[in-house]
Amino acid sequence: MFHDVQTANRWRSVLLLGFSFALLVGVGAAISYSFDAGFAGLLIAVVVAVTSTWSAYWNSDKVALRITGARQVDETTHPQLVNVVQEMRLASGLPMPKVAVIEDPAPNAFATGRDPDHATVAVTTGLLERMNREQLQGVLAHELAHVGNRDTLVATLAVTIAGTLTILCDLAWRMSAFGGSTSRRRSNDSGGQLQAILLVVAVVAIVLAPVAAQLLHAAVSRRREQLADATAVAYTRNPAGLRSALEVLQQDSTVVRHTSRATAHLWIESPLDRDRSMWNRLFDSHPPLAERIAVLQAMERTAPGAQTAAPPSVPPSASSAWPVV
């Protein structure tokens, strides 16, 4: 069942990328049209689109890790963390990812990398301090679910494209402020209404494209969070671990220091200080924690092993002889 979801997700990723790319080229065309730049302008837009996507493909993980100040660790310094990652990657059948730690009191985690062979899972020191083994397992299962569902690549690519769009449109505005569009007036007598309409369409496209890209990305990202929660439970077979981890995150009000809207979608919980108006919620990269917790609670009630007291995924903790360290 989860393989079907993964396949569907991959197709959706391709569609999203194709759409973003078309949007980018379309906006490039609109800009070049409104400034009489002609074919050269379009070509520049395509080149910008290709290079930004290309560089995002190869470097997005390194950039994300550098922005957040993550540093790679191994089992000598963080035995339990690496052990739990190893457990979850065995459950998912993925190759072992790199493990990184971020010095930050806010509990949070993210995964990055263009494919499962180049994945990195990063957690904050705040998360390590506050989570027990079972909760840590839930969080890392969620992160590896992003890797397994191929979310990490599409998320970083989409954000790069949205960023490029924003810069491009910003540039167009500045140019028009300096009277770039006067050139169009030359042809006013012959061009007539059609050109005027096209110009309006171009301006509207330039204004709305970055917003559209953001909205689209946020919507896709929220669905991916829900899917990753479900996949995580398929790995651990234990909704309680992730549920209680999310509850810890809910109670916590510390905000991650090194972050911005550009990397917000990467984290397990939105790292931004949220203002809960309907308008802002449209741009949220994450569904509200309360919703995610409710879904996991529903899973706990319906799980076949719901009646047994022991958390099923951590067999040792079932008996008191194996304390959960």
Partner 1 sequence: MGVVITIAVVAVLGLLAVWAYNKLVRLRNRVDEAYAQIDVQLKRRYDLVPNLVETVKGYAAHERQTLEAVTSARNAAAGASGVAQVAEANNQLTGALRGLFAVAEAYPQLRASENFLQLQEQLTTTENQIGFARQFYNDSVRALNTAVETFPLMLLAGLAKATRREYFEVADEAVREVPRVQF
Is 159 among the residues that bind partner 1 (CB under 8 A)?
Answer: no
Instruction: Report the DSSP pairing between strands 120-124 and 109-112.
Output: antiparallel
Round to whole Å and give the CA distance between 66 and 266.
14
User: Which listed range, 21-29, 41-49, 55-63, 79-87, lies at the site for partner 1 (CB under 8 A)?
Assistant: 79-87
Crossing angle of the two packed helices 79-92 and 193-236, in degrees rounded to 10: 100
Is 303 among the residues that bind partner 1 (CB under 8 A)?
Answer: yes
Amino acid making up residue 226: Q
Is 323 among the residues that bind partner 1 (CB under 8 A)?
Answer: yes
Is 316 among the residues that bind partner 1 (CB under 8 A)?
Answer: yes
Of the candidates 87, 134, 143, 225, the residue annotated as catalytic is: 143
- Report the residue number, 10 or 237, with the smaller CB distance to partner 1: 237
- Site map for partner 1, 206-235, x if CB under 8 A? -----------------------------x
User: Which listed range, 12-20, 40-48, 56-64, 78-86, lies at the site for partner 1 (CB under 8 A)?
Assistant: 78-86
Q: Give 132's DSSP letter.
A: -
For 133, 183, 242, 293, the CA distances from 137, given in Å and listed in that order, are 6, 61, 8, 16
Is 313 among the residues that bind partner 1 (CB under 8 A)?
Answer: yes
Round to whole Å and give the CA distance between 135 and 48.
43
Residue 7 CB neighbour total at 10 angstroms: 11
Nearest approach, Cβ of residue 248 and partner 1 (Å): 21
- Site map for partner 1, 82-111, x if CB under 8 A? -xx-xxx-xxxx------------------
Nearest approach, Cβ of residue 115 and partner 1 (Å): 17
23 φψ region: left (φ > 0), alpha (ψ -120 to 50), beta (else): alpha
75 assigned to active site: no
Round to whole Å and give the CA distance between 114 and 92.
17
Size of site (CB under 8 A) for partner 1: 31
Which residues in 231-256 are b (16+ Cβ under 10 Å) and which e? Answer: bbbebbebbbbbbbbbbbbeebeeeb
Nearest approach, Cβ of residue 108 and partner 1 (Å): 23
Which residues carry out catalysis? 143
- Residues engaged in binding partner 1 (CB under 8 A): 79-80, 83-84, 86-88, 90-93, 133, 235, 237-238, 303-305, 312-316, 318-325
